[in-house]
């Protein structure tokens, strides 16, 4: 590891409370699972929070 570079910059964080907050918003009925559209929205929210450019992500045909 090159210590002169320092730690990688963090653009966001994703912790258990953030996970649960987004999950509950997408699963308000408390089913315990997400359908394909909800899962896509969940992943996009997670990636956006972590600073990933989701505009380059492939969408489902």
Token output for 3? 């210590």
Residue 58, pLDDT score? 66
- The residue ranges of the chain whose pLDDT is under 50 are 1-9
Q: How far apart are CA 23 and CA 6, in angstroms?
A: 33
**What Rg do the C-alpha atoms of the chain give, in angstroms?**
15
Residue 32, pLDDT score? 93
Residue 33, pLDDT score? 92
Token output for 29? 């009925």
Residue 8, pLDDT score? 44
Residue 15, pLDDT score? 86
Residue 11, pLDDT score? 57
């Amino acid at each position: 590891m090159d210590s002169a570079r320092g730690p990688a910059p963090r653009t966001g964080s994703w912790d258990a409370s953030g996970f649960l907050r987004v999950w509950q918003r997408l699963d308000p009925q408390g089913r315990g699972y997400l359908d394909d559209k909800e899962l896509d929205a969940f992943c996009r929210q997670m990636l956006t929070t972590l600073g990933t450019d989701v505009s380059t992500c492939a969408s489902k045909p």
